[in-house]
């Protein structure tokens, strides 16, 4: 909307993506996050930008259409391959892969050698058990924006 400032949340480190590096000589810090990222919006961008600022590389597991159907009983508005391409096109993202199952998170963390798991705080506490594999960080959700809210707005307008 013209004239409305975007809800850009500050990064948790006070720095933006691509500016934080691990100490010279040490291995790059690998951050992993997961999500459907349907109807990509500013809340998704904030989460991704702030996750990337916690390390040197950001790996994103994009939840498959089938996972959404099975676990959430809904079909994303944007198809899986397009959601993957959109997330892969974000400059803070280094790698994307398909998240086929919520139950495989521990495997994904290990396969991608993640040092930090980042999720929005709507998942607060739900992934603490992965603390034995990596650091677990929950970031504040961006208020007042969601994919389902966008769908409702469009429905109301039609």
Rank residues 11 and 46 by Cβ distance to ligand C2G and give the closer one: 46
- What is the phi-psi region of residue 37: left when phi exceeds 0, alpha when psi lies from -120 to 50, beta otherwise? left
Subset of residues 34 to 93 that bind ligand C2G, contact rule: CB under 6 A: 34-38, 43-44, 46-47, 63
For the question of residue 105 being annotated catalytic, the response is no
Rank residues 22 and 68 by Cβ distance to ligand C2G and give the closer one: 68
153 CB burial (10 A radius; 0-12, 13-18, 19+) = exposed
By CB under 6 A, residue 101 contacts ligand C2G? no
By CB under 6 A, residue 8 contacts ligand C2G? no
Cα–Cα dist 40/58, whole Å:
17
Name the nearest CA neighbour of 41 among 94, 101, 83, 96: 83
By CB under 6 A, residue 102 contacts ligand C2G? yes
Binding mask of the shown chain, residues 113 to 132, with x at each position contacting ligand C2G by CB under 6 A: ------xx-x----------
Cα–Cα dist 10/47, whole Å:
10
Tokens (6 digits) for 4: 């409305």
Rank residues 20 and 42 by Cβ distance to ligand C2G and give the closer one: 42
The residues carrying an active-site annotation are: 71, 74
């Amino acid at each position: 909307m013209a004239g409305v400032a975007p809800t850009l949340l500050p990064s948790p480190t006070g720095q933006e993506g691509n500016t934080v590096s691990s100490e010279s000589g040490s291995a790059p810090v690998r951050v992993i996050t997961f999500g459907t990222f349907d109807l990509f919006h500013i809340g998704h961008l904030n989460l991704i930008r702030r996750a990337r600022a916690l390390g040197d590389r950001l790996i994103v597991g994009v939840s498959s259409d089938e996972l959404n159907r099975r676990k959430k009983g809904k079909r994303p508005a944007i198809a899986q391959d397009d959601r993957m391409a959109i997330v892969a096109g974000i400059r803070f993202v280094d790698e994307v892969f398909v998240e086929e199952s919520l139950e495989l998170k521990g495997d994904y963390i290990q396969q991608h050698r993640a040092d930090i798991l980042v999720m929005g705080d709507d998942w607060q506490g739900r992934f603490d058990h992965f603390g034995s594999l990596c650091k677990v960080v929950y970031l504040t959700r961006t208020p007042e924006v969601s994919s389902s809210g966008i769908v409702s707005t469009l429905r109301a307008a039609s």
